[in-house]
Amino acid sequence: MKTFKCIIFSSLLMLFINCKTDEKSQDEIFKKVNSLYENKAPFYEIKLDTTLFTQELIHKMENIRYITELDKARIKQSNSPTDKPFLLEGNVFSSLPDGFSKFYIKNITFKENRADVLVEFEYESSPKIIWTDKIILENVNGWKIKNIIFSKSNDKTNLLDRLTYKSTTWVK
């Protein structure tokens, strides 16, 4: 009987600890996603925060910024110095390049060291545009954004693809 009580007590304790951990993780994730979407700064002005993004995402963002700078320098030295350089324009972190008016965190689900966050966006227009993107976070020394799966997109279905520059001309 004591063994049975011990097992039940241990199980309840583990359940309680897991609930507290999930609650703490949900709070951390909620804050991370909010900080991403509350910051309305253009892509080239946002801080590449190692506590917000995985190293892979930061590397890709740094690479895109570097390619933009190379293209600006190339154009400046060209016969057409007023040409527009390669730029990521619009809202890079949501499906709609025009951005959004409002966002709501709808759901957070966990699977081991991964969390999927469904975020609903609204864009005030006539008619109003509503869509849901999925933010994928990874828990490696804290929760960090690993990718964003876009629900509406022209040619890029996720953030990692959007941050991948493929050129057959001047960039290797």
Q: So where are the chain's domains?
A: 2-54+92-162
pLDDT at 87 (0 to 100) = 84
Mean pLDDT, rounded, for 5-19: 46
State the Rg of the chain over Cα. 21
DSSP 8-state class, residue 53: B
Confidence band (pLDDT; 50, 70, 90) for 135? very high
How far, in Å, CA of 148 to CA of 161, rounded? 10
3-state secondary structure (DSSP) of residue 56 = helix
pLDDT at residue 155 in the model: 62
For the residues 27-47, what does the mean pLDDT come to? 93
Report which DSSP code applies to 158: B
Q: Is 50 exceeded by the pLDDT of residue 171? A: no
Q: Which residue has the tokens 């869509």?
A: 131
What are 138's strand-pairing partners? 114, 144
Beta carbons within 8 Å of 150's beta carbon, 6+ residues apart: 94, 95, 133, 156, 157, 158, 159, 162
pLDDT for 6 equals 47
**The predicted structure's pLDDT at residue 154:** 57
